Structure 1
């Protein structure tokens, strides 16, 4: 055997074995009857034995052909599956995504984006892995994830990024005096119990600058890593906070919020490995995610 078997030859034998007729096999394959005969003859030559016998007006596989037909069916079905999957990938309707993100983002904004994305692409699957920014960058640099959503990103040669500044708001209990205001300023926070982001975060440092400029001195009571945690404490009546509007929206039924001035935008970065060619699905997901954030852009 020369080793030059072709998929079309295998398809021809599978079709003839199924239909018992060259003519019906030709109709199934969308080719002429002589073309099927030639494919079978060439395959017989390649394999070195007869493939078909005629019995009672039907073509039936020989004993040798029956022995290899299960393998042939598996090969033909596998190739059909690969072809179908490839079409899905080209049409951006199939594939798998690995997405790393901030823990709060995984429970606030991201589920809605993922749900909408998957609804239009039923054969796409997604892994969502929440963790701290430092860990997300390690994963992206190591090409373990297709893309990530993080904050406080300052650039890295192995990472391609796009950053969007999201509006920040002051969140407070529904019965708080701030409910009468159209906006909350830094001066308004003087003396208020403050639930705030971790002290070493760029967001908190920028917030402190607004307090200094307004000569305002809030009373820090709780330090958190995630804005969603801050909103949860506000909902429990433990104080007020300044957070991304993205997270405040998730708690809209449990807390009230107003625009915060002066603006202290929360900078979110969409990141991916620069040396790993992104799939079409990855690029489309990142575009969908970025578009979902635009209405909240500062």
Structure 2
């Protein structure tokens, strides 16, 4: 299949993207189900077609040059557009069996996404694919065409995404109901001194904010366990192994754990949104899915105690 008069072929672009995504011709071959020599041949043909050297070759490996990464951005857009075209044609032929792909941090699979899927199932004949990831990865899933809708947080690039507001949230401390914090209306940084903490991985901004607040109050955090995905903290906290700092919207997902929550100061403000690729045309099923996501965030979460007002 040729995409341009110059002879650029769809398969060449697929192989090129797979090599950069996987980091080697061997892994790209395994992902695509073809031989490693075939991958190398497609890459050479692409370089000849575009008239650019895209990889530095040494021994048995190829290393992407800057030109390769620059080309990848446009290749992603082209392949995403073709994927959308294929999905659109399929949906037009099979509207009654359209599949809706929703990308969201895995923590939303506790409470919010089950509500969303229940509505989609009741109102359409569509099935749902749930894709997890970090907020950055959610955007990548949308732009790559792997997901139709996503649950994410601002800021986002308005040149790439459109969004609908879902709600705003401030930080809360979650803890076992028997914890001393249950007698307080608010948790301040100095209250955390001496507490065993279950904390998100240092790569996340929330980690730095929590640590900075503690150190400003003159306390060094006592970290029992670090986790790399929202949701993991609920198990440790419910087992009485420590307290955790999250935000009000994430805390709603922990209804089944029967944890308590209190506002934390200092706090940050998070703005949650439903996102989709800019310019995306919505089918009836996709409109229903977006409405279901918005409605799920408007519903109060059962069994989650509202944070008490500060004293």
Q: Which residue of 1 aligns with 2:182?
A: 179
Q: Is the 8 A contact 1:186 1:260 kept in 2?
A: no
Q: Which residue of 2 aligns with 1:118?
A: 121
Q: Which residue of 1 aligns with 2:198?
A: 195
Question: Residues of 1 paired with 2:207 and 2:129: CA distance?
Answer: 31
Secondary structure of 2:224's partner? strand
How far 1:210 sits from its partner (Å)?
A: 3.2
- What is the CA deviation profile of residues 107-134 of structure 1, one whole-angstrom value per residue up to 9, with x for unaligned ones? 3421122213422x14232221223334
Q: How do 1:75-224 residues align onto structure 2 when only pairs under 5 Å count?
A: 95-119=98-122, 121-151=123-153, 153-155=155-157, 157-163=159-165, 164-224=167-227
Question: Residues of 1 paired with 2:147 and 2:111: CA distance?
Answer: 21
Q: Which residue of 2 aligns with 1:246?
A: 249
Q: Is the 8 A contact 2:120 2:288 kept in 1?
A: no
RMSD in angstroms over aligned alpha carbons?
A: 3.1
Secondary structure of 1:170's partner? strand
Question: Residues of 2 paired with 1:275 and 1:254: CA distance?
Answer: 40
Q: Is the 8 A contact 1:166 1:265 kept in 2?
A: yes
Q: Is the 8 A contact 1:189 1:217 kept in 2?
A: no
Question: Residues of 2 paired with 1:142 and 1:258: CA distance?
Answer: 37
Question: Residues of 1 paired with 2:237 and 2:131: CA distance?
Answer: 26
Q: Which residue of 1 aligns with 2:235?
A: 232
Alignment partner of 1:272 out of 276, 300, 304: 276
Q: Which residue of 2 aligns with 1:284?
A: 288
Question: Residues of 2 paired with 1:253 and 1:230: CA distance?
Answer: 13
Secondary structure of 1:227's partner? coil
Q: How do 1:11-26 residues align onto structure 2 when only pairs under 5 Å count?
A: none
Whose Rg is larger? 1
How far 1:286 sits from its partner (Å)?
A: 2.1
How far 1:212 sits from its partner (Å)?
A: 4.2
How far 1:148 sits from its partner (Å)?
A: 1.0
Q: Which residue of 1 aligns with 2:11?
A: none
**What is the TM-score normalised by the length of structure 1?**
0.60
Question: Residues of 2 paired with 1:215 and 1:288: CA distance?
Answer: 45
Question: Residues of 1 paired with 2:228 and 2:153: CA distance?
Answer: 12
Q: Is the 8 A contact 1:179 1:256 kept in 2?
A: no
Q: Which residue of 1 aligns with 2:51?
A: none
**What is the TM-score normalised by the length of structure 2?**
0.57
How far 1:271 sits from its partner (Å)?
A: 1.6
Instruction: Note closer, same or farther for the CA distance 1:173–1:295 as it changes in structure 2 (3 Å cut).
Output: same
Instruction: Note closer, same or farther for the CA distance 1:281–1:167 as it changes in structure 2 (3 Å cut).
Output: farther
Instruction: Note closer, same or farther for the CA distance 1:141–1:267 as it changes in structure 2 (3 Å cut).
Output: same
Instruction: Note closer, same or farther for the CA distance 1:195–1:175 as it changes in structure 2 (3 Å cut).
Output: same
